[in-house]
Amino acid sequence: MHALSVNNLAVTYDKQPVLENVSFAVPEGSLTGIIGPNGAGKSTLIKSILHLLPTLSGNVTVFDEPYKQQKKLIGYVPQRSEVDWDFPTDALDVVLMGRYSHIGWFKRANRKEIEWAKTCLDKVGMADYANRQISQLSGGQQQRVFLARALAQDAKVYFMDEPFSGVDAATEKAIIKLMKEWKQEGKTVLVVHHDLQTVEDYFDHVLLLNKTPIEYGETQKVFTLDNLERAYGGKIAFLQRGTAVTQEVK
Contacts with other proteins by CB under 8 A lie at 47, 50-52, 71-72, 74, 76, 78, 82-84, 86-90, 93-94, 97-98, 100-101, 103, 106, 108, 133, 135-136, 149, 153
In the chain, % helix, strand, coil (3-state, to 5) comes to 45, 25, 30
Considering the complex, what minimum distance in angstroms separates the CB of residue 58 from other proteins? 18
| Residue 58 zone, left/alpha/beta (φ > 0; ψ -120 to 50; rest) | left
Considering the complex, what minimum distance in angstroms separates the CB of residue 52 from other proteins? 5
Whichever of 77 and 236 has its CB closer to other proteins, that residue is 77
Considering the complex, what minimum distance in angstroms separates the CB of residue 49 from other proteins? 10
Whichever of 74 and 208 has its CB closer to other proteins, that residue is 74
In whole angstroms, give the CA distance from residue 80 to residue 77.
Answer: 8
Phi, psi of 17 (to 5 degrees): -70, 130
Q: What is the 8-class DSSP label of residue 55?
A: -
Whichever of 82 and 201 has its CB closer to other proteins, that residue is 82
Residue 105 identity (one-letter amino acid): W
Whichever of 50 and 170 has its CB closer to other proteins, that residue is 50
Whichever of 51 and 173 has its CB closer to other proteins, that residue is 51
Considering the complex, what minimum distance in angstroms separates the CB of residue 247 from other proteins? 37
In whole angstroms, give the CA distance from residue 220 to residue 222.
Answer: 6
In whole angstroms, give the CA distance from residue 212 to residue 53.
Answer: 17
Considering the complex, what minimum distance in angstroms separates the CB of residue 12 from other proteins? 14
In whole angstroms, give the CA distance from residue 32 to residue 237.
Answer: 24
